[in-house]
Amino acid sequence: MGENTIFYNAGFKSYEITRCKEGAETWYEWTERSRNLMKRVKISIKVLRWLISVFIEASKVQGDSVKRWKVKDLYSNFFCTLKYNENGRYISFIAIQGQNKAVIITPESSYNTGWGNIAHKIAKFTYEPTTKQKTQSNKGKALGVSFKEAVRNNRWTTKSTKKAHILVEGDRLNVVNVTLTSETDLPKRCIVGKFQSTLREIPILNDVRRWACNTWKSAIGVSVFAMNDIHFLFELPTKVVAEHVMAGTWVWKKMHLNLEWWSPITGCWPEVVVRDWVWIKVLGLPLNLWSHKVFKLIRDQCGGFIEAEEEATLKNHMHWAHIKVKGDGKMVPKEIEVTSEGFVYIVPIWCEAPVTFRKEATRREEQHYGPMGNKGFFPSLVLKYVEESDHHVGTSTAGEKLN
């Protein structure tokens, strides 16, 4: 702890404030301890300095009186109230962060002495000398880049990915020289959430976008993207804003939103996990074949029926029929032949199996030996760069049509 923690007493309680450096912002964890209870709240430097001013203002008030203060920090609301009872005066601090609520009571050490000593100790703890930092404009970074390259640049591509080399080894792509994501890259301010939904009501993309814009009004320009397994990616304007969102608890229609930071394996399944169901899409089925009996036969060919998407039975669109079948998808055929009224239809089947991952084996020597036994010699391996494409090359396992 040392320089990052201070302690003080008030009444029969002890308090501690700990400085925590997390990502782009410094947080302060304020803890109240009594004989049978411990309460804790995490606040920003802005709120802590506001609390210091409240302690100072409350110390100027003499006698039994009530006074209130309020401040808002992005998505959190904080309230302070000067109150009194038979035991003396005290300040009630209430933090409301999403669905989280924390209350910390700071009593006065003796009547009408105020909280000046506490305010002075906290102020000294939070004091940070300002240092002039040279800021470099980003305008110069674009020099030397053609308009065509700027337009084709993928907004999700990180700095390390741009510098990485992609090697083609048979049917395997090997991306080398990729380091961890930089703090300034877009994925660092992205969080992934999933609602604890029921089968009766599954949130769709438009609902989540509307909810996020109304709930996180301070985050101007928040973007929401649908992912597989009913996950949603939230792109926040800055990492500080993303950290404030992560600190709260959020609910949509009585369904809690579980949030976590984006990681390279977000949305992927471990290879050792075997799924017992998968969604398939029967693409472009002709209207004369759109019947429950045909669906049932197709399901039997693909592993067995579990359930069908509601839009398939209501015929809200005719792009595809969305069906949930048994198995992990490995036995699902790519297409099925259907004969009707003298025509043979080749119906494509899209299996929405998720991306799986495993830890790469560290056998560098074997990978770097060529046919002649010389390390680093690749006479039979063709190395080339693979251009990025905006076309869809992955899969999705979401159970709802999101657009």
Instruction: Indicate which CATH number applies to the domain containing 220.
Output: 3.30.70.330
Q: Which of 216, 236, 267 is the last residue of a domain?
A: 267
**Sign of the CA dihedral running 151, 152, 158, 161:** negative
Residue 280 lies in a domain: yes
pLDDT surpasses 80 at 23: no
Tell whether 20 and 91 lie within a shared domain: yes
pLDDT band with cut points at 50, 70 and 90 for residue 2: low
Q: What is the pLDDT of residue 380?
A: 34
pLDDT surpasses 80 at 323: no
Distance CA 127, CA 123 (A): 6
Distance CA 20, CA 162 (A): 33
Contact 224, 208 (CB under 8 A): yes
Residue 137 lies in a domain: no
Identity of residue 146 = S
Average pLDDT over residues 210-226: 79
Q: What are phi and psi of 260, to 5 degrees?
A: -155, 155
Tell me the pLDDT of the chain averaged across its residues.
75
Tell whether 255 and 306 lie within a shared domain: no
Domain that holds residue 319: 276-353
Q: What is the pLDDT of residue 37?
A: 86
pLDDT band with cut points at 50, 70 and 90 for residue 130: very low
Q: What is the pLDDT of residue 30?
A: 92
Nearest residue to 185 (alpha-carbon basis) of 216, 226, 156: 156
Nearest residue to 352 (alpha-carbon basis) of 237, 228, 262: 228
Distance CA 171, CA 3 (A): 55
Strands 356-357 and 269-270: parallel
Tell whether 118 and 44 lie within a shared domain: yes
pTM exceeding 0.75? no
- C-alpha distance from residue 402 to each of 9, 203, 214, 322, 399 (Å): 54, 9, 19, 12, 9
CATH of the domain at 116: 3.30.2450.30
Tell whether 250 and 283 lie within a shared domain: no
pLDDT surpasses 60 at 314: no
3-state secondary structure 45-94: HHHHHHHHHHHHHHHHCCCCCCEEEEEEECCEEEEEEEEEECCEEEEEEE
Contact 361, 350 (CB under 8 A): no
For the chain, the residue count is 403
- C-alpha distance from residue 94 to each of 122, 175, 241, 305, 363 (Å): 18, 50, 21, 52, 56
Tell whether 263 and 301 lie within a shared domain: no
Distance CA 252, CA 56 (A): 39
**DSSP one-letter code for 343:** E
Q: Which residues contact 238 (CB under 8 A, 6 or more apart)?
A: 24, 189
pLDDT surpasses 70 at 172: yes
Tell whether 250 and 329 lie within a shared domain: no
CB-count burial class (<10 Å; 0-12, 13-18, 19+) for 121: middle
Residue 131 lies in a domain: no
- pLDDT, tens digit, 9 for 90 and up, residues 53-93: 999 999 999 889 999 999 988 778 999 999 999 889 999 99
Tell whether 263 and 167 lie within a shared domain: yes
The dihedral formed by the CA atoms of 351, 356, 361 and 365, expressed in degrees to the nearest 10: 50
Contact 316, 330 (CB under 8 A): no
Q: What is the pLDDT of residue 296?
A: 76
- pLDDT, tens digit, 9 for 90 and up, residues 275-307: 777 888 888 888 888 777 777 777 777 776 566
Residue reference for tokens 């083609």: 168
Tell whether 196 and 257 lie within a shared domain: yes
Higher pLDDT, residue 24 or 131: 24
Q: What is the pLDDT of residue 366?
A: 43
Residue 319 lies in a domain: yes
pLDDT band with cut points at 50, 70 and 90 for residue 104: very high
Q: What is the pLDDT of residue 32?
A: 92
pLDDT surpasses 70 at 29: yes
Distance CA 275, CA 394 (A): 18
Return the structure tokens found at 401: 């049509």
pLDDT band with cut points at 50, 70 and 90 for residue 135: very low
Residue 135 lies in a domain: no
Residue 331 lies in a domain: yes
pLDDT band with cut points at 50, 70 and 90 for residue 252: confident
Tell whether 215 and 101 lie within a shared domain: no
Residue 141 lies in a domain: no
Higher pLDDT, residue 330 or 107: 107
DSSP-assigned letters across all residues of 161-206: HHH-EEEEETTEEEEES--PPPTTSGGGGEEEEEE---SS----HH
**DSSP one-letter code for 115:** S
Q: Which of 267, 302, 327 is the last residue of a domain?
A: 267
Tell whether 173 and 193 lie within a shared domain: yes
Nearest residue to 358 (alpha-carbon basis) of 297, 269, 286: 269
Tell whether 100 and 178 lie within a shared domain: no
Residue reference for tokens 């159970």: 399
Tell whether 260 and 296 lie within a shared domain: no
Q: Which of 331, 353, 375 is the last residue of a domain?
A: 353
Average pLDDT over residues 308-316: 56
Query: How many domains, in total, are found in the chain?
Result: 3
Residue 40 lies in a domain: yes
Q: By three-state DSSP, how is residue 298 classified?
A: helix
pLDDT band with cut points at 50, 70 and 90 for residue 139: very low
Return the structure tokens found at 381: 């391996």
